[in-house]
Amino acid sequence: MNVWFTEQLHPFLRVNLRVERIVHEERSPYQHILVLDTAFFGRTLVLDGIIQLTELDNAGYHEMMVHVPALTVGAPKRALIVGGGDGAALVQMLRYPSLEEVVVCELDARVVEVCRAYFPAFARAWDDPRVRLITRDAFAYLEEQPGPFDVICADTTDPIGMAERLFSAEFLRLIVCALSPNGAAVTQCEQPYFDAALITQLYRAAQALVRHPAYYYVAVPTYPGGGIGFLYLSNQPWEKGLEHPYPPGENAYLNPQTHRAAFALPEFFRKALQS
């Protein structure tokens, strides 16, 4: 089978994966959902034509999104995942024995149902009694002030359509308002080469909200440009996470060296954030 899936999130770059099999395809009330078996990268989730995760390289994204803020807190008891209907971030969050509740606020129930059916490595997490799934718009949910949460991870899609509101100063404010005093949050925050203006705008907003905002960046080969960044929000410095042991289970990407190195930004981008 010589079929290729092509993603063109940016007008000047394409990402191509060789497809071995179309596993599932549907249009939910919110988006087009596609599950593929791909060469080398394995099973792949695509939403509205944009790659969300592959079996091979998702650990770089999900481990670094969840454990950077959770390790800062140390022993989180209550957590919120915004989006994350595939269950991969949830798997990482549930590794913390201290957790009493994880709320997953996912807009599209069909993403959860499809991923439970076709991504068995993540499916079992939904059966954990500590998990509470809320299928609704996360922006409206946070406006109701459902905190406090010790850890918040905004595992969002890209800033297109309804998701644009999730890349705003107001959304950051809602997240910070929902944090416990010593809590930490991380939001998906795009790519320094392609989205420097948006990231800088959000970083400026974060500086007005918390004492220790930071931006960090990880390698994910199937994302445009080969990586993705995160905005860290907390009144505690991210370095505190280096003092705490990892939760039970194995890491595929995170270690003390990748944890620290993720915050070392290329010079052009470091200057942009500090200008």
Just list the catalytic residues: 155
As a whole number of angstroms, the distance between CA 213 and CA 153 comes to 14
Under 8 Å between Cβ of 229 and 54: no
Placement of tokens 């939910």 in the chain: 28
Q: How much of the chain is helix, strand and coil, in % rounded to 5?
A: 35, 30, 35
As a whole number of angstroms, the distance between CA 186 and CA 84 comes to 13
As a whole number of angstroms, the distance between CA 63 and CA 71 comes to 11
Task: Provide the edge-to-edge strand list for the sheet that holds 78-83.
Answer: 131-134, 101-105, 78-83, 149-155, 179-188, 227-234, 214-219
As a whole number of angstroms, the distance between CA 69 and CA 143 comes to 22
Under 8 Å between Cβ of 91 and 62: yes
